[in-house]
Copies of this chain bind each other. A is one copy, B any other.
Amino acid sequence: MQIVVQEQPFDVGDRLNQFSASRTDMGAVVSFTGIVRQVDGKLSDMMIEHYPGMTEKALTSIAEDAVSRWSLGDVLVVHRYGLLAPGEVIMMVATMSRHRADAFAAADFLMDYLKSRAPFWKKERTADGNAWVAAKDEDEDALNRWQTP
């Protein structure tokens, strides 16, 4: 399990290649990349604040939860903070498993939990002013998909 929280940019392709090459007994690798999205050409940049210490703990706990739920060879989470321009990579997760269903479900799960349970906050600076990105009800609702009865 690899959890990385850093300010500096990273290369998703390199990270994914390293991750995939680390095991030969896994047939499936799924990755998710989150990118600062340009909206109508208005976004100047995004400032990502986080809670040093808790961030690493929360990401580790979410990744451990994924490992306990699915049969995974490994999990990678890389998340940036600080000032990011449109088009820059915010974060990535990658999962590997023998067969594809586990890797897909685990990556989907990781993203749902990262979205609402990892202590990051985003402030967008646009031509119209600055605003904190609000959490969406649908992101909170998405967590219900993973409740075991």
Query: A14-B13, A25-B38 given as contacts; is B100 within 8 A of A104 (CB)?
Result: no
* Residue A4 lies at the interface, judged by CB distance under 8 Å to chain B: no
A106 to chain B, nearest CB (A): 12
A82 to chain B: which residues have CB within 8 Å?
Answer: none
B38 touches A24 (CB 8 A): yes
* Residue A127 lies at the interface, judged by CB distance under 8 Å to chain B: no
Taken together as a complex, chains A and B put the C-alpha atoms of A112 and B98 apart, in Å, by: 15
Give the interface residue-count category, chain A.
35 or more
* Residue A111 lies at the interface, judged by CB distance under 8 Å to chain B: yes
Residues of A1-50 whose CB lies within 8 A of B:
11-17, 20-21, 24-39
Taken together as a complex, chains A and B put the C-alpha atoms of A117 and B87 apart, in Å, by: 35
* Residue A56 lies at the interface, judged by CB distance under 8 Å to chain B: no
A86 to chain B: which residues have CB within 8 Å?
Answer: 24
A14 to chain B: which residues have CB within 8 Å?
Answer: 13
Taken together as a complex, chains A and B put the C-alpha atoms of A32 and B87 apart, in Å, by: 21
Taken together as a complex, chains A and B put the C-alpha atoms of A11 and B20 apart, in Å, by: 11
A79 to chain B, nearest CB (A): 15
Taken together as a complex, chains A and B put the C-alpha atoms of A26 and B33 apart, in Å, by: 10
Task: Kindly report which residue of chain B lies nearest to residue A90, judged by CB atoms.
Answer: B27
A110 to chain B, nearest CB (A): 11
